[in-house]
Amino acid sequence: MNKIEIHADLNTLAYAVAERIVTLAAGAIEAHGQFSIGLSGGSTPRSLYSLLATEEFRARIDWSCVHVFWGDERCVPPDHPDSNYRMAYSALLNHVPVVEANIHRIYGESDPSQAAAQYERVLREYFGAQGHFTARFDLLLQGMGADGHTASLFPDTAAIHERPWWVVENYVSKLDAWRITLTPEAINAAANVIFMVAGADKAETLREVLHGPYIPDKYPAQLVRPENGQVEWMVDAAAAALF
């Protein structure tokens, strides 16, 4: 069941998501000593990451217990302007005492299929050591594009139907670019998924994703239905304007 929270604007939305992350981190660390979070890229989460890096929030998470992953990555080097790792590192990870070895970036600079296979191994090793046979992220932070994609599961692309892999390379023809992405199988193994969506340009798609017919090839964000987890849609009023 989708849980939907509407916040006035991106600033108040970022605060609300930051508070949820603090709560989920504390719960996971208390329950099993670690907090595994998968970050999303794009522009929406930048303000969230910067907020988490402030003194107000930084001290409220035990970063020594946090393992950082990504839901997807562009096939570019880590210092490229388009890199999701670079954005998160500059806005958040370079400002908090996370253990460098616990930052598990996707090697976007590598051959796409090799990068996907390598990341799959990292995930299976990490979650296997936790006693899981699934990608049991404590939290996956997801964004949604105006076309209904999430992670790099773009409409009418092969990755939507990939099983049983957790990570695949995905050629996105409209971008003429390769991406590395978690598959629906991996995303739906998470304990918690938070979609952070903001902006009027997302309003029509968000209405269709949440209230329209189930057409996952057109709206891949609809694929996110964790078997044993919850999805929280945390959105701003502009994105929710057509509900």
Using CB under 6 A, list all residues that contact ligand 6PG.
40-44, 71-72, 84, 143-145, 149-152
Which CB atom, from 42 or from 97, has the smaller least distance to ligand 6PG?
A: 42
CA 2 to each of CA 134, 149, 198, 210, 221: distance values in angstroms, whole numbers, following the listed order: 22, 17, 17, 8, 12
Q: How far is the CB of 187 from ligand 6PG (least distance, A)?
A: 11
- Contact between 151 and 182 under an 8 Å Cβ cutoff? The reply is yes
Using Cβ positions, the residue closest to ligand 6PG within the complex turns out to be 143
Q: Give bridge partners of residue 70 from the DSSP assignment.
A: 39
Q: How far is the CB of 210 from ligand 6PG (least distance, A)?
A: 16
Which CB atom, from 65 or from 150, has the smaller least distance to ligand 6PG?
A: 150
Q: How far is the CB of 117 from ligand 6PG (least distance, A)?
A: 20
Q: How far is the CB of 77 from ligand 6PG (least distance, A)?
A: 15
Which CB atom, from 199 or from 226, has the smaller least distance to ligand 6PG?
A: 199
CA 119 to each of CA 51, 86, 182, 185, 226: distance values in angstroms, whole numbers, following the listed order: 28, 17, 9, 15, 21
Q: How far is the CB of 164 from ligand 6PG (least distance, A)?
A: 22
Q: Give Cβ neighbours of residue 120 (< 8 Å, ≥ 6 apart).
A: 165, 166, 167
Structure-derived torsion over alpha carbons of residues 129, 131, 132, 137, reported in degrees to the nearest 10: -60
Which CB atom, from 61 or from 224, has the smaller least distance to ligand 6PG?
A: 224
